[in-house]
Amino acid sequence: MKKKEKIDLVILIIWPILAAVLSLLFKVNAFGSIILFLFLPAVYLSVRGIKYMKKSLIFSLVVGIPGIIIVEYLAHLSDAWLVPFTIFPIRLFGFVTIESILWAFFLIYYIIMFYEYFLDKHVAKHLWHPHMKYLAMLVLLGVVVFLVLLFYSPNVLKIPYFYLCFGILLILIPIIIELFTYSRLSSKFFKAAAYFFFMTFIYEVTSLKLGIVAFPGTEFIGWVSILGVSFPFEELFFWCMLFTLAALSYYEFFDDDEK
C-alpha cells in the first residue's frame, strides 16, 4: 500500500468515530447521519480515486435504488425495521423514506469505492460489464413482481421472519457461492468487510441512540444488547458483518473480473 493510501485509510478509520461524536453532539436526523457517515467519506474517496468513480456509481444506482425500495417496503410491512422520522414530505408506497434510498445508494457506492481504491485497483476499460445486463434484468424482474403483488395480492408481501429470510436468500447464499467458487477473492473481501464492520457497528449504535432506526417487530432469532442499545441479531449478522461481503459478491460476479 502506498503512503498516500495509508494516510487515506487512517483518515477513514478515524472518520466513523468523529461522525458518531458529531451526530450525538448535534443530535442529527437520518439525513444528517447519511451525510456524516456515508456521503462525506464517499466524496473523499471519489476525489482520491476518481478513476473508479463512474463504474461504482452505475453499479450502485442499478442495485441500490430499486433494491432498497423493495426491501425497505417489505421490512416495514413485516415490522423488521423502520425509519420513524423523515425530513421529506413523502414516503414511497407509504413506507419507504428518501433517506433509506440515499442510505442504500451511498453505502453500496462507498463499499465499491473502498474496495477498488484500497484492494482491487482494477480500472475497467468499460463502465458496464456484459454480465450487468443480467443483473439489470433480475432487478427489473424483482420490481415487476413486487408491483404486481403490491397491487393485486399485498398480503403475500408480509413475510414471517422477513429479516432472516431476506438475509439468508440475498446475502448469505450469494457470499457462499462467490467465495467457494473464487476463493482467491477471500482476502480482499474480508479486509473490506473488517473496515465496514467497524464503521457500520458505530453507525448502528449511534442511530439507535438517536432514534434514527427502530426494530418494532418480534420475529427475530435473538437480540444484541451493547453500549446501552438493543438490536436484532440479524442486524449484527447480516448488515454489520455480511452486507459488505454480499455487495462485493454481486459486484465481482456481475460487474468485475473476479480476480
Cell of 147: 408491483
Cβ neighbours of residue 135 closer than 8 Å, sequence gap 6 or more = 62, 63, 250, 254, 255
CA distance to 237, 245, 249, 257, 258, per residue, from 193 (Å): 12, 6, 12, 19, 17
End-to-end CA distance of the chain: 18
Phi/psi for 227 (5° steps) reads 55, 35
Q: With beta carbons less than 8 A apart as the criterion, state whether 84 and 15 touch.
A: no
**Total-model pTM:** 0.95
Q: What is the pLDDT of residue 223?
A: 97
What is the rounded average pLDDT for all residues in the chain? Answer: 93
pLDDT at 131 over 90: no
Contact 75/219 with Cβ under 8 angstroms? no
Q: How many Å apart are CA 29 and CA 243, to the nearest integer? A: 23
Section 75-99 average pLDDT? 94
Helix (H, G, I), strand (E, B) or coil at 163: helix
187, with CB counted inside 10 A (0-12, 13-18, 19+), is exposed
Residue 125 clears pLDDT 80, i.e. is over it: no
The confidence score (pLDDT) of residue 53 equals 93
The x, y and z cell numbers of residue 206, run together, are 449511534
Q: Which carries the bigger pLDDT value, residue 34 or residue 1? A: 34
Return the axis-axis angle of helices 186-210 and 98-114, rounded to nearest 10°: 150
Does residue 124 register a pLDDT over 80?
Answer: no
Q: Can you read off the three cell numbers belonging to residue 49?
A: 480515486
pLDDT of res. 52: 92
